[in-house]
Structure 1
Amino acid sequence: MADKFDKLGPIFDEIGHELGRIVGGDPDKTYLYAELQEGVVGAGVFKDEGNSVRYFDPSRPLIDLLIEAWETEEPGKRWEVIEYAVVGKEFDAVFKFPEELNPDEFEDERRDVALHARYGDKPVIYPPMPEH
Protein backbone atom coordinates (compact mmCIF):
# COMPACT_ATOMS: atom_id res chain seq x y z
CA MET A 1 0.00 0.00 0.00
CA ALA A 2 2.82 2.43 0.83
CA ASP A 3 4.32 1.86 -2.63
CA LYS A 4 1.09 3.04 -4.27
CA PHE A 5 1.01 6.22 -2.17
CA ASP A 6 4.72 6.78 -2.78
CA LYS A 7 3.91 6.78 -6.49
CA LEU A 8 0.62 8.74 -6.27
CA GLY A 9 1.99 11.60 -4.14
CA PRO A 10 4.34 12.94 -6.83
CA ILE A 11 1.67 12.44 -9.52
CA PHE A 12 -0.88 14.45 -7.50
CA ASP A 13 1.75 17.12 -6.84
CA GLU A 14 2.43 17.36 -10.58
CA ILE A 15 -1.33 17.59 -11.25
CA GLY A 16 -1.38 20.68 -9.03
CA HIS A 17 1.53 22.21 -10.94
CA GLU A 18 -0.15 21.44 -14.26
CA LEU A 19 -3.37 23.08 -13.04
CA GLY A 20 -1.32 26.21 -12.33
CA ARG A 21 0.03 26.13 -15.89
CA ILE A 22 -3.48 25.70 -17.30
CA VAL A 23 -4.97 28.63 -15.37
CA GLY A 24 -1.96 30.85 -16.02
CA GLY A 25 -0.36 31.08 -12.59
CA ASP A 26 -1.38 30.30 -9.04
CA PRO A 27 -3.55 27.16 -8.86
CA ASP A 28 -5.24 28.37 -5.64
CA LYS A 29 -9.04 27.97 -5.89
CA THR A 30 -8.70 25.62 -8.86
CA TYR A 31 -10.94 22.57 -9.11
CA LEU A 32 -10.59 19.58 -11.41
CA TYR A 33 -13.47 17.24 -12.18
CA ALA A 34 -12.50 14.19 -14.21
CA GLU A 35 -14.02 10.84 -15.10
CA LEU A 36 -11.88 7.98 -16.34
CA GLN A 37 -12.69 4.61 -17.81
CA GLU A 38 -10.59 2.33 -19.98
CA GLY A 39 -9.71 4.39 -23.06
CA VAL A 40 -11.88 7.39 -22.10
CA VAL A 41 -11.08 10.54 -20.11
CA GLY A 42 -13.44 13.45 -19.57
CA ALA A 43 -12.05 16.37 -17.58
CA GLY A 44 -12.71 20.01 -16.85
CA VAL A 45 -10.65 22.57 -14.94
CA PHE A 46 -12.43 25.36 -13.06
CA LYS A 47 -11.07 28.44 -11.29
CA ASP A 48 -13.08 30.38 -8.72
CA GLU A 49 -12.79 34.05 -9.66
CA GLY A 50 -15.00 35.44 -6.90
CA ASN A 51 -18.32 36.26 -8.56
CA SER A 52 -17.95 33.57 -11.20
CA VAL A 53 -16.11 30.39 -12.06
CA ARG A 54 -14.02 30.12 -15.23
CA TYR A 55 -13.69 26.88 -17.21
CA PHE A 56 -10.37 25.83 -18.76
CA ASP A 57 -9.76 22.96 -21.15
CA PRO A 58 -7.53 20.24 -19.72
CA SER A 59 -4.05 19.95 -21.24
CA ARG A 60 -2.57 16.81 -22.73
CA PRO A 61 -0.05 16.61 -19.85
CA LEU A 62 -2.94 16.77 -17.35
CA ILE A 63 -4.78 13.96 -19.13
CA ASP A 64 -1.58 11.89 -19.12
CA LEU A 65 -1.13 12.48 -15.37
CA LEU A 66 -4.73 11.47 -14.68
CA ILE A 67 -4.27 8.26 -16.65
CA GLU A 68 -1.03 7.56 -14.81
CA ALA A 69 -2.74 8.03 -11.43
CA TRP A 70 -5.71 5.91 -12.48
CA GLU A 71 -3.46 3.11 -13.70
CA THR A 72 -1.71 2.86 -10.32
CA GLU A 73 -4.90 1.21 -9.08
CA GLU A 74 -5.50 -2.46 -9.75
CA PRO A 75 -8.05 -3.18 -12.48
CA GLY A 76 -11.41 -3.75 -10.83
CA LYS A 77 -10.48 -1.40 -7.96
CA ARG A 78 -10.08 1.77 -9.99
CA TRP A 79 -12.00 4.93 -9.21
CA GLU A 80 -14.05 6.49 -11.98
CA VAL A 81 -14.29 10.09 -10.73
CA ILE A 82 -11.65 12.32 -9.21
CA GLU A 83 -12.45 15.71 -7.76
CA TYR A 84 -9.18 17.52 -7.09
CA ALA A 85 -9.25 20.92 -5.43
CA VAL A 86 -6.41 23.31 -4.65
CA VAL A 87 -6.78 25.61 -1.65
CA GLY A 88 -3.76 27.75 -0.94
CA LYS A 89 -0.73 25.49 -1.27
CA GLU A 90 -2.65 22.30 -0.38
CA PHE A 91 -4.78 19.96 -2.44
CA ASP A 92 -7.58 17.57 -1.64
CA ALA A 93 -8.58 14.66 -3.85
CA VAL A 94 -11.90 12.83 -3.52
CA PHE A 95 -12.61 9.68 -5.48
CA LYS A 96 -15.85 8.01 -6.53
CA PHE A 97 -16.00 4.41 -7.65
CA PRO A 98 -18.23 2.99 -10.39
CA GLU A 99 -20.69 1.47 -7.90
CA GLU A 100 -21.23 4.93 -6.37
CA LEU A 101 -22.35 6.46 -9.68
CA ASN A 102 -25.81 6.43 -11.22
CA PRO A 103 -25.41 4.56 -14.53
CA ASP A 104 -28.37 6.50 -15.96
CA GLU A 105 -26.50 9.82 -15.61
CA PHE A 106 -23.99 11.14 -18.09
CA GLU A 107 -20.62 12.63 -17.16
CA ASP A 108 -21.77 16.21 -17.88
CA GLU A 109 -24.77 15.77 -15.56
CA ARG A 110 -22.54 14.49 -12.73
CA ARG A 111 -20.09 17.33 -13.34
CA ASP A 112 -22.91 19.91 -13.17
CA VAL A 113 -24.07 18.45 -9.84
CA ALA A 114 -20.49 18.56 -8.50
CA LEU A 115 -20.05 22.16 -9.67
CA HIS A 116 -23.31 23.22 -8.03
CA ALA A 117 -22.32 21.48 -4.78
CA ARG A 118 -18.99 23.32 -4.81
CA TYR A 119 -19.99 26.75 -6.13
CA GLY A 120 -23.74 27.04 -5.62
CA ASP A 121 -25.34 29.33 -8.18
CA LYS A 122 -22.14 31.10 -9.30
CA PRO A 123 -22.13 31.31 -13.08
CA VAL A 124 -19.60 29.17 -14.89
CA ILE A 125 -17.96 31.01 -17.79
CA TYR A 126 -17.08 28.77 -20.71
CA PRO A 127 -15.04 29.98 -23.68
CA PRO A 128 -17.02 30.75 -26.84
CA MET A 129 -17.53 27.83 -29.20
CA PRO A 130 -15.08 27.96 -32.12
CA GLU A 131 -16.63 28.83 -35.46
CA HIS A 132 -16.03 26.20 -38.15
Structure 2
Amino acid sequence: MEDREYPVEPTLLYAQLDRNMVGESIFKELGNQILYRRPVIEGLPYALLDLWEAQGGGDRWSEMEYVLRDGKFEVAYIYPDEIDAEEDVVERRARAVRRHFGEKPIVYPPWPPEDDAPDYDL
Protein backbone atom coordinates (compact mmCIF):
# COMPACT_ATOMS: atom_id res chain seq x y z
CA MET A 1 0.00 0.00 0.00
CA GLU A 2 3.02 2.28 0.39
CA ASP A 3 3.67 2.04 -3.37
CA ARG A 4 1.45 4.93 -4.45
CA GLU A 5 2.51 4.94 -8.11
CA TYR A 6 0.23 2.01 -8.98
CA PRO A 7 -3.09 0.64 -7.71
CA VAL A 8 -2.93 -1.46 -4.55
CA GLU A 9 -4.85 -4.34 -6.12
CA PRO A 10 -4.30 -6.83 -7.53
CA THR A 11 -0.89 -7.45 -6.01
CA LEU A 12 1.22 -10.54 -5.38
CA LEU A 13 3.93 -10.61 -2.72
CA TYR A 14 6.18 -13.61 -3.30
CA ALA A 15 8.68 -14.24 -0.52
CA GLN A 16 11.40 -16.83 0.02
CA LEU A 17 12.72 -17.21 3.57
CA ASP A 18 15.39 -19.11 5.41
CA ARG A 19 17.40 -18.46 8.54
CA ASN A 20 18.56 -14.81 8.38
CA MET A 21 17.51 -14.54 4.72
CA VAL A 22 14.50 -12.89 3.12
CA GLY A 23 13.89 -12.43 -0.58
CA GLU A 24 10.72 -10.60 -1.47
CA SER A 25 9.23 -9.71 -4.84
CA ILE A 26 6.13 -7.66 -5.55
CA PHE A 27 4.07 -7.96 -8.73
CA LYS A 28 1.11 -5.82 -9.79
CA GLU A 29 -1.39 -6.79 -12.46
CA LEU A 30 -1.92 -3.92 -14.89
CA GLY A 31 -4.35 -4.98 -17.59
CA ASN A 32 -2.49 -7.09 -20.13
CA GLN A 33 0.85 -7.13 -18.29
CA ILE A 34 2.39 -7.76 -14.89
CA LEU A 35 4.66 -5.13 -13.40
CA TYR A 36 7.49 -6.09 -11.06
CA ARG A 37 7.94 -3.52 -8.31
CA ARG A 38 11.01 -3.27 -6.15
CA PRO A 39 9.87 -3.50 -2.53
CA VAL A 40 9.66 0.01 -1.09
CA ILE A 41 8.69 -0.99 2.44
CA GLU A 42 11.73 -0.74 4.65
CA GLY A 43 10.28 -2.96 7.40
CA LEU A 44 8.88 -5.67 5.09
CA PRO A 45 11.83 -8.09 5.34
CA TYR A 46 11.77 -7.83 9.14
CA ALA A 47 8.00 -8.43 9.31
CA LEU A 48 8.33 -11.48 7.03
CA LEU A 49 11.21 -12.87 9.05
CA ASP A 50 9.25 -12.35 12.29
CA LEU A 51 6.29 -14.22 10.77
CA TRP A 52 8.55 -17.05 9.61
CA GLU A 53 10.30 -17.33 12.98
CA ALA A 54 6.98 -17.29 14.88
CA GLN A 55 6.23 -20.77 13.54
CA GLY A 56 8.80 -22.34 15.85
CA GLY A 57 9.93 -25.92 15.44
CA GLY A 58 11.66 -27.35 12.40
CA ASP A 59 8.69 -27.55 10.02
CA ARG A 60 8.73 -23.99 8.71
CA TRP A 61 7.48 -22.92 5.33
CA SER A 62 10.12 -21.74 2.85
CA GLU A 63 8.10 -19.61 0.47
CA MET A 64 4.93 -17.58 0.70
CA GLU A 65 2.49 -16.22 -1.86
CA TYR A 66 0.34 -13.35 -0.56
CA VAL A 67 -2.28 -12.08 -3.00
CA LEU A 68 -4.41 -8.98 -2.49
CA ARG A 69 -7.45 -8.77 -4.80
CA ASP A 70 -10.99 -7.37 -4.52
CA GLY A 71 -10.45 -6.18 -0.95
CA LYS A 72 -9.47 -9.67 0.23
CA PHE A 73 -6.19 -11.47 0.69
CA GLU A 74 -5.15 -15.06 0.17
CA VAL A 75 -1.97 -16.62 1.52
CA ALA A 76 -0.30 -19.86 0.43
CA TYR A 77 2.68 -21.30 2.30
CA ILE A 78 5.09 -23.62 0.49
CA TYR A 79 7.08 -26.04 2.64
CA PRO A 80 10.58 -27.37 1.85
CA ASP A 81 9.30 -30.86 0.96
CA GLU A 82 7.05 -29.28 -1.72
CA ILE A 83 9.99 -27.63 -3.49
CA ASP A 84 12.18 -29.25 -6.12
CA ALA A 85 15.72 -28.48 -4.91
CA GLU A 86 16.94 -28.51 -8.53
CA GLU A 87 14.48 -25.81 -9.61
CA ASP A 88 15.59 -22.19 -9.43
CA VAL A 89 13.53 -19.81 -7.29
CA VAL A 90 13.12 -17.52 -10.33
CA GLU A 91 11.25 -20.32 -12.12
CA ARG A 92 9.01 -20.98 -9.11
CA ARG A 93 8.34 -17.26 -8.73
CA ALA A 94 7.37 -16.90 -12.40
CA ARG A 95 5.04 -19.90 -12.08
CA ALA A 96 3.38 -18.30 -9.04
CA VAL A 97 2.84 -15.07 -10.99
CA ARG A 98 1.22 -17.04 -13.86
CA ARG A 99 -0.93 -19.00 -11.41
CA HIS A 100 -2.37 -15.80 -9.93
CA PHE A 101 -2.40 -13.48 -12.95
CA GLY A 102 -2.38 -15.73 -16.01
CA GLU A 103 -0.10 -15.83 -19.04
CA LYS A 104 0.83 -12.17 -19.23
CA PRO A 105 4.28 -10.72 -19.82
CA ILE A 106 6.18 -9.57 -16.75
CA VAL A 107 7.75 -6.13 -17.11
CA TYR A 108 10.86 -5.50 -15.02
CA PRO A 109 12.13 -1.93 -14.52
CA PRO A 110 15.62 -1.11 -15.70
CA TRP A 111 18.31 -1.64 -13.11
CA PRO A 112 19.85 1.53 -11.75
CA PRO A 113 23.16 2.62 -13.28
CA GLU A 114 26.24 1.08 -11.72
CA ASP A 115 27.06 4.47 -10.20
CA ASP A 116 23.89 4.20 -8.09
CA ALA A 117 24.53 0.60 -7.02
CA PRO A 118 25.61 0.08 -3.42
CA ASP A 119 29.29 -0.67 -2.86
CA TYR A 120 30.30 -2.99 -0.04
CA ASP A 121 33.75 -3.43 1.46
CA LEU A 122 34.29 -6.96 2.73
TM-score by length of 1: 0.78
2:38 alignment partner in structure 1:
57
Amino acid at match of 1:100: E
| 1:107-131 deviation digits (Å, cap 9, x = unpaired) | 1111011112222321111110222
Superimposed CA distance per residue, residues 6-62 of structure 1 (whole angstroms, 9 cap, x where no aligned partner):
xxxxxxxxxxxxxx1135465220111111011111110011111111111123211
Residue 28 of structure 1 pairs with residue 2 of structure 2: no
Unaligned runs of 5+ in 2: 115-122
CA contact (8 A) 2:12 2:97 kept: no
Q: 1:23 to 1:108 in 2, by over 3 A?
A: farther
Higher helix fraction (1 or 2): 1
> Counterpart of 1:72?
54
Q: Deviations over 1:84-109 (max 9, x none)?
A: 00012211101010011001112111
Q: Which of 81, 93, 104 pairs up with 1:111?
A: 93
CA distance in 2, matches of 1:124, 1:23: 20
Distance 1:23 1:116, change over 3 A: farther
Tell me, yes or no, if the aligned pair for 1:31 and 1:84 is still in contact at 8 Å.
yes
- Provide the rounded CA distance (Å) in 2 between the counterparts of 1:68 and 1:27: 23
Root mean square deviation, CA, Å: 1.5
Pairs aligned (count): 113
Work out whether residues 23 and 56 of structure 1, in 8 Å CA contact, stay in contact via their aligned partners in 2. no
Sequence identity of aligned pairs in percent? Answer: 33
